[in-house]
Amino acid sequence: MIFYLALLGAGEIDGWTIFAFILAYFLAVILAMSVHEFSHAFVATKMGDDTPRLQGRLTLNPFAHISGLGMLSFLLVGFGWAKPIETNPLKYKNYRKGMALVSIAGVTANLIFAFILSAGFFFLNYFGDPAQTNLFLIFLNDFFLYGFLINIALLVFNLLPIYPLDGFNFIRSFTKPGNKFEQFMYRYGNIILIVVILSPLYDILYSTVFVSLLNWFCMFWGLFV
């Protein structure tokens, strides 16, 4: 993000426009993370586990979910984290079903949220050019675009079948406890995750999914105009 802002500052863009971008990005990160974590808490509660509710996590209030260090990391380098939702799978009405549904709840919510944000981005740009209008529309355009970007980033990242991500927990819900894959991931998952994040293949995967979904969603919204 710092590099991007440096590029903005090098151009003929005034300070208020840069401020609008920073505010839009900041709000997009907070909302995307809050929606993700709340969805885990909501589904876990529906499956019979009251741990998230007792810990005050069954809320969309960002202050219940945001990690200060994780937020700072997201703003500085574009990668960060929220406070993970603590659950007790033993309380689920159906253990395997609960594990699977809770695991994919966050990414499902991010996908739905991204779909909604794509509507705002599409219609705002279809009926005008926000960059040539007032500051509020510039802010909205940045919020819709970067909100979409961040939600898709959370979707792609968390679907990776690597411990401790949601993708791993989803797969684990269909396998026998203590299997070799599970043991391997518990031992080396964090190392593999770092390697994947630093790999250009991850950037290619994310960029492909981001562009494809944005195009598909905008094509859908285009059916209404």
**What three-state secondary structure class fits 202?**
helix
- Residue 12 bears catalytic tag: no
The first and second tokens of residue 201, run together, are: 């293949």
Structure token digits, residue 8: 């903005």
DSSP for 48-113 reads: T--HHHHTT-SS--GGGTB-HHHHHHHHHHS---BPPPP--GGGSSSHHHHHHHHHHHHHHHHHHH
Q: What SS3 string covers 115-148?
A: HHHHHHHHHHHHCCCHHHCCHHHHHHHHHHHHHH
- The pair of structure tokens assigned to 132 is 């040539």
* Token pair belonging to 153: 């980033």
Which one-letter amino acid corresponds to residue 49?
D
Cis peptide bond N-terminal to 52, omega within 30: no
The phi and psi torsions of 82 (rounded to 5 degrees) equal -110, 175
Catalytic residue among 12, 37, 86, 182: 37
**Residues with active-site annotation:** 37
